[in-house]
Structure formats: structure tokens, C-alpha cells
Structure 1
Amino acid sequence: MTADRPLAEKIALVTGATRGIGAATAVELAKAGAHVVAVGRTEGALQDIDDAIRAVGGSATLVPLDLKDSEGIDRLGGALYQRYGRLDVFVANAGVLGPLSPLGHVFPKDWDDIVAVNLTANWRCVRSFDPLLKLSPTGRAVVLTSGAAHKARAYWGPYAITKAGLEVMARTWAAESVTGNLKVNLFNPGPIRTLMRAKAFPGEDPMTLPTPEEAAAAILPLCLPGFMETGKLYDFPQGKLLDFHLPS
């Protein structure tokens, strides 16, 4: 481990690693020296991320996986244990926007899909990766949330509800791990130049927004061995940590 490679010999897993903030974070972690386990649904896009990681001198293991495949998440946890015996960094980035619609107009299948990806899949990841992170002397988990979790904005119900649930899940996980080496924190990127943002706000000029790479640079410090806070939310638009007052 050196100053320019603080994650050398560390294993870092990123979900939703094929585009946007996930892809940028995978590259940022690789630049910091981590071997990146890149999880995404599309093999071609994973190959592109592998190329980007190699271009910065990093290495990656590509995992084509739909996170609605709960047994696949379990198998991934087992494979990580057999290969590495631990997991040092987990960035829970994968998420979907879902329908922007009045609650009463949301189709049951669309509701089930967004709950499956934004909430259930992350719980399955916690269930599978928590033991691995606790086997690391410097386990770090960063869970991506949204400002929508704190607003009851019309037509954003499914997304906001699942993100609110995800925040409570992450804070509960942090509270349950408060006396150990594992640190669990939330990251709110705010408006970022991504395809999801463009879908939600089609009239917005994306060039006025920060890039995924800028967000990834702010995520990296939360993944480092020296970051000792837990149960906090880093709000990227404000550039600061917010305290949820975890019980001691």
C-alpha cells in the first residue's frame, strides 16, 4: 500500500458497474490499487469496463449477474470466499428509476421489479457479503441513495419509497456493526450526468451537471482503510458528511 495506491491488494466489489457512477467508481477503485469485482447485467458493457480498468493499470473480475437473481448473489458470496477469503470494499450502486407515475397507477409488475432491484437485491447482498466484509480488517461498505428518499414528491413514489427503505437498511447494518471493523455509510450523489437522470429530467441540460467521475472521486475516500466514520451520509451536493446519530 502506497499513498497513490491506498487500496493495493484490496478486493472491491461494485454493483451496477457497467455505466454511470458504478462504472466510474470501478475505475476509481482500480486506480487506487484495488482488484475490482465488477457486477453488471451486460457482458459487453462489462468488457468495456474491463478495458477502462486495464487502461489505468488495474485488474478486474467480471461478473455478469442480474441482481434479481438472489441465488446468484449467494453463489457470488461463496465464490468470493473461496477465492479471496474476504471482501474489503462493497459499493452498492445498482438501482433502477422505475415508473414515474401516481401510486395508484403503478402496475404490480413494475412495483415488484423496483422493489426487487433497489431493496431486496441490496438486502441479499448484505446477507451474502456481510460475513466477507467482517473478515477484512478494513471492511468498507458504501450504499448509494438519493435525495428522493427524503421527499414525498408526486409521481416518484416507487423510487423514493425503495430508496428510503434502503437508507434505513444501511443505517441498521451500520448500527449492528458499530463495534467491529466494518464501516457502513451512505452516499447521496445528487443530480449527476447519467442516463437515469436524463430519463427522469429529459429537458435538463446534462452539461450543467457534475460527471459520474466527479461523484466517484468523492466515493473513494469512504472506501479507504483510514476512513473510520460509520452510519453517516455523505451528501455530494453539500460536500459533507451528515450524522444520523448512531447509538453507541
Structure 2
Amino acid sequence: MGRLTGRLAVVTGASRGIGYAVAKALASEGAHIIAIARPRSVGALEELDDDIRALGGETTLTPVDLTDYDAIDRLGAAIYERWGKLDILVGNAGLLGSLSPLGHLDIKEWDKVMAVNVTANWRLIRSLDPLLRQSDAGRALFVTSGAAHKAVPYWGLYATSKAALEKMAEIYAAECAKTNVRVNLINPGPIRTGMRAKAFPGEDPDLLAKPADIAPLFVEMACPDYTKNGTIVHYKDWAKAS
């Protein structure tokens, strides 16, 4: 039996990159995956389903735009009706947005990045927190970035969104301190993803860790015996210690 046998996991941004790799890794340990991605990514979700089935796992494919907040509310209701609880939430989906001076950013783009990187995760918390509390060991993991702690020119939109996400997750962790729910953040660092390639187009991807390399960290932190709360775990530090 896997370490997550019988456990239910929601993974956002599951159609590619880190989300895809994490969904597969959680499934390989026995978790049933509710895989969420934008409706236009249905083909990639179906590929994920094929990969997980090949591992002997199960998925529930959920094509949802995370800015459709009513759909997030319906997700919580549907999970409650079918399973009555949720064990793992991985808030991975995110947008980079433009690398631009703050004063030149398009208003609609600012709103969209904030909607996906911050508000959607709050709506997931709002919808799924009651279900995580029904688990014997609810685990919520959110993906952050080192950009949240740096004042790098032209990174204002992305960095601001991740800083807001971190503070929100830390407060959620404090609110869960006396429950069975544990809330933590993971900073992947430089990982070979489409977002990374967009931000650093001249970088050699062969020099970067792959999404599959970081997936075991998510598995470890999703397990019931991982009891830290309100922490930010940096993949590079974890990899050195492992």
C-alpha cells in the first residue's frame, strides 16, 4: 500500500509542469486525484488520466477556470456529496504575467494574475476548508516563489501576487493550528517549466531540475505524518538534505 492510499487530493494546474508531476506522484502513492485545469486543457488532463491509470490509480478530471468562483463553490459541494471530506489540497496553478514596470502594467492583466494567484486560492480555502477539517489529517500546500521576497525590477505583478499568497497561507495555517489541518508553502526555485522558460528565455533548460524531481517533496508534505504548519519549504534546501 502507498503512503496515501485511500486519501483524496485536489491538484490545481494539473495539466502540465509541476501540477502534472505532483498529481502523478500523489497517485503513485495511492491518492485519488481530482485534477483541475482550464477547460482548454482537457486533452492534457486526459493524458494525465492515462498516465495515472497506468500506475493503477484513479482520477476525477475537472476542467474548471479558477476565475469561475461559483464553479469552485460547486466543487466543494460535489466533493462533500461524493466523499464527505478532502485530505489534500495542492494550490499549484499560477500565472506569471508581464515582466514590466509597475506603471506600465495593463489593468486587466493585473486583475487576472491576482485573480488566479491569490483570489482563486482564497476561494479554494473558502470552499474546501470544511472538507479538509473532516479529514483525520488535512493537508493544504500552496506553491510560492522566491520572487515574493525580492524587490526585482519589472517583477512587481508576479512578486506581489506571491507575497500576498504567502501571507494568506500563513494566516490560514495559524487559524488551523488547533485542528487536524496543516498548511504549508513550497518554493520550487528554478524548475524546468513553461513559466520558467517564458521568464528566462535564454536559459538552458537542461541545467534545471525537472517537475518530477520536486514531486516527492509534495508527497512527503501531503502525508499524515508531516505535521509542520505555516512553513515555507525551499526545494533546493530539501534536496540537499535528502
- TM-score in terms of structure 2 length: 0.97
C-alpha separation in 2, matches of 1:25 and 1:55: 16
C-alpha separation in 2, matches of 1:171 and 1:31: 29
Counterpart in 2 of 1:38? 35
- Give, in angstroms, the shift of residue 45 of structure 1: 1.1
Matched, 1:6 2:20: no
- Give, in angstroms, the shift of residue 63 of structure 1: 0.1
Which amino acid in 2 is paired with 1:31? S
- Give, in angstroms, the shift of residue 99 of structure 1: 0.9
SS at match of 2:236: coil
- Give, in angstroms, the shift of residue 238 of structure 1: 1.6
Which amino acid in 2 is paired with 1:95? G
Counterpart in 2 of 1:245? none
Counterpart in 1 of 2:212? 213
- Give, in angstroms, the shift of residue 43 of structure 1: 1.0
Counterpart in 2 of 1:74? 73
Counterpart in 2 of 1:243? none
Counterpart in 2 of 1:25? 22
* Among candidates 16, 19, 36, match of residue 13 of structure 2: 16
Which amino acid in 2 is paired with 1:239? W
Which amino acid in 2 is paired with 1:161? T
C-alpha separation in 2, matches of 1:110 and 1:233: 27
Compute the RMSD of aligned alpha carbons: 0.8
Which amino acid in 2 is paired with 1:120? T
- Give, in angstroms, the shift of residue 219 of structure 1: 1.3
Q: Across the two proteins, how many residue pairs are aligned to each other?
A: 237
Segments of 4+ in structure 1 off by > 6 A? Answer: none
Which amino acid in 1 is paired with 2:19? G
Choose between structure 1 and 2: higher helix proportion.
2
1:1-248 superposed matches below 5 A: 2=1, 5-41=2-38, 42-239=41-238
- Give, in angstroms, the shift of residue 52 of structure 1: 1.1
Which amino acid in 1 is paired with 2:6? E
SS at match of 2:93: coil
- 1:103-162 CA distances to partner (integer Å, 9 max, x unpaired)? 000010110100100011000000001110000011001110000000010000000000
C-alpha separation in 1, matches of 2:106 and 2:35: 31
SS at match of 2:237: coil
Which amino acid in 1 is paired with 2:230? G
- 1:201-229 CA distances to partner (integer Å, 9 max, x unpaired)? 00000000000001111111000011111
SS at match of 1:237: helix
Where in structure 2 are there 5+ consecutive unaligned residues? none
Which amino acid in 2 is paired with 1:139? G
C-alpha separation in 1, matches of 2:174 and 2:217: 23
C-alpha separation in 2, matches of 1:128 and 1:152: 33
Which amino acid in 2 is paired with 1:85? G
Which amino acid in 2 is paired with 1:127? R
- 1:79-105 CA distances to partner (integer Å, 9 max, x unpaired)? 000000000000000000011100000
